[in-house]
Structure 1
Amino acid sequence: MKGKNVSKIFLVILACLVAYIFLLPLLFMFFTSFKGVAESVTSRTLLPKAWTLENYRELFMNTATSPILLWLFNTVIVTVAGTALRITVSVLAAYSLARLPLPGKSFLLVSLIWAMAVPEIVTYFPLFYTFKLMGGLNTFWPLILPSGSGVMCIYLIYNFLLAFPQELEEAGFVEGANVFQVLWHIVLPSVKPVVITQAFITFLGLYNSYLWPSLVINRNETRTITLGIAALVLGENYTNPGMMMASTVISVLPVMVIFMFANKYIVKGFTQSGIK
């Protein structure tokens, strides 16, 4: 019994050390955001010697060069709309492949698998050229519309539906429900775990996206938070690590709050997405 207690104590200490290693970059980011310019450049200590809110005050007051609240608002629009579009299209497409007698279904499934092997960066040039011809550059449309092509999301939901008993759907049709009512009230609750998982992954991907937005957005008023932080880092504030860390803390905070409130649903989605 004594040996088991010692082993548990050792494992707890080891887990704390590992957690500290992973949290160290976040702690460095957080504490550096409260350091002045001189201290953030020269200091080698984690905690600031003189705490200051000047970095945050500068970010919120200097709205001409760093409208960080506007960038966050733009990011919310893009991530929410893009995630809703991907989940909607994926559920409808997966249900159509799994249940409807579509012509050439085998070819569509093979094409879906092959599409997953195509690197995303390969699609950037044709997408950029398309939106340029449509006059959609420097708008939210290039950031939202491509999110509808969630090939992996479609494939996962499709495989999940293959194991779903069709008798439940047939019972709904017998009761007089149409296809959309069956999909909403019967099918969708069964695929909720994988939908939640894919929605969370899509949300994070859109929130942290930089390369594609940097190609289609170059106006300050339509930038997302990642583009805004990059502009601060590459601009005149590159000599002020404290301001860079403050902007990063502000960008990370919404995701952390969402994760704290939705943690149990996200974990449940990850653990049940492979259970049929």
Structure 2
Amino acid sequence: MRTKINRLLLILLATAIGVMFIVPLIWMVTISLKSDIEAFLPDLSFIPKEPTLINYIEALKGGDLDVPIIRWIFNSLIVSTVGTVLVLTIDALAAYGLARLDVPFRKALISMFLSTMMIPGIVWFVPQYILFQDLGLIGTYGAFFLPATAGVFGVFLLYQFFLGYPTEIEEAAYMDGANKWQIFVRMFLPASKSILWTLAVITFMGIFNDYIWPYYVSGGNEDMLTLTAGIAVMTHGSYVNYPNKLMALSVIATLPILIVFLLAQKSIVKGIIHSGIK
């Protein structure tokens, strides 16, 4: 009886948390479907009386500010995709080296890497900006995604998995004539596919959703902005008085992340609970 009650309480708690997350998203969508007049009515009904897609059309056109929304979407997708590929490549190589190769001062390096995870990201903002400015990268696409490659979360995630990989399988591959690179590409990477998918989605979402860093490293070039940074620009001028248009733009910015998550949902769950080799 007690087990059933505990299970019921957990279901109710999970439902309440789910509602807390889903209601703001539904509200955002409903506001985006309202006309200018209905959006400012004192009686804010949850369901639009006369749903319209005009807000999305105007948002994609740039509205009164005539901003390059399509270019911002393209920038976000390119920057997030390139950054994700670089992070996966660098983190996988670093994790494999630390876990399976004879790296000098390995324990000290791991401790140093993990200590950087305790430092809030905002602390790195000014020094990182000065560094990129000195390198002449401000106003280039490289400044958007290169900082993500310095993260150690993915290294630690893959390191834990690679460390637990059975040595017997690796030794058998060496006996068959395989070298370290072949073992890494043909054995370790396929075995860690679920974790790589999880890291890819987390990285893609992190780069895509970031707006503070892209806003400043764009060098004042409006065409260089990403979509999330561009939304901050759209809040100026006449758009600040049109919440329905801002919500439409927010829905457009949410769709790529939602699609990526839904497509990789099974792999993400599998990667989180994965703890060994089957």
- Counterpart Cα distance in 2 of 1:10 and 1:244: 38
What does the per-residue CA deviation read over 1:215-258, in whole Å, with 9 as the maximum and x for residues that have no partner? 21232211111111111123320000010000011111122222
Greater alpha carbon shift after TM alignment, 240-249 vs 33-42: 33-42
What does residue 244 of structure 1 align with?
A: 246
The alignment-based identity, stated in percent, is 36
> 1:208-227 counterparts in 2 under 5 A?
208-217=209-218, 218-227=220-229
- Counterpart Cα distance in 1 of 2:102 and 2:8: 59
SS in 2 for 1:176: coil
What does residue 97 of structure 1 align with?
A: 98
CA RMSD, Structure 1 to Structure 2 (Å): 2.6
What does residue 265 of structure 2 align with?
A: 263
| Residues 14 and 213 of structure 1, relative CA distance in 2, 3 Å threshold | closer
What does residue 140 of structure 2 align with?
A: 139
Counterpart residue identity of residue 198, structure 1: L
| Residues 172 and 18 of structure 1, relative CA distance in 2, 3 Å threshold | closer
TM-score by length of 1: 0.88
Counterpart residue identity of residue 237, structure 2: G
What does residue 235 of structure 1 align with?
A: 237
Q: What's the offset of the Cα at 1:196?
A: 1.9
SS in 2 for 1:207: helix
SS in 1 for 2:47: coil
What does residue 110 of structure 1 align with?
A: 111
Tell me the number of residue pairs that the alignment of Structure 1 and Structure 2 aligns.
Answer: 272
What does residue 49 of structure 2 align with?
A: 49
Q: Is the 8 A contact 1:169 1:187 kept in 2?
A: no
Counterpart residue identity of residue 220, structure 1: E
> 1:192-207 counterparts in 2 under 5 A?
192-207=193-208
Q: What's the offset of the Cα at 1:125?
A: 1.7
Q: What's the offset of the Cα at 1:150?
A: 2.2
SS in 1 for 2:235: helix
TM-score by length of 2: 0.88
- Counterpart Cα distance in 2 of 1:9 and 1:162: 38
Q: What's the offset of the Cα at 1:13?
A: 8.4
What does residue 80 of structure 1 align with?
A: 81
SS in 1 for 2:140: coil
> 1:139-218 counterparts in 2 under 5 A?
139-217=140-218, 218=220
Counterpart residue identity of residue 88, structure 1: T
- Counterpart Cα distance in 1 of 2:195 and 2:92: 10
Q: Is the 8 A contact 2:86 2:149 kept in 1?
A: yes
Q: Is the 8 A contact 2:195 2:268 kept in 1?
A: no
- Counterpart Cα distance in 1 of 2:24 and 2:267: 27
What does the per-residue CA deviation read over 1:68-110, in whole Å, with 9 as the maximum and x for residues that have no partner? 2211111111111111111111111111111222222222122
What does residue 35 of structure 2 align with?
A: 36
Unaligned runs of 5+ in 2: none
Unaligned runs of 5+ in 1: none
| Residues 14 and 194 of structure 1, relative CA distance in 2, 3 Å threshold | closer
- Counterpart Cα distance in 2 of 1:18 and 1:101: 46
| Residues 173 and 226 of structure 1, relative CA distance in 2, 3 Å threshold | same
What does residue 25 of structure 1 align with?
A: 24
| Residues 243 and 182 of structure 1, relative CA distance in 2, 3 Å threshold | same
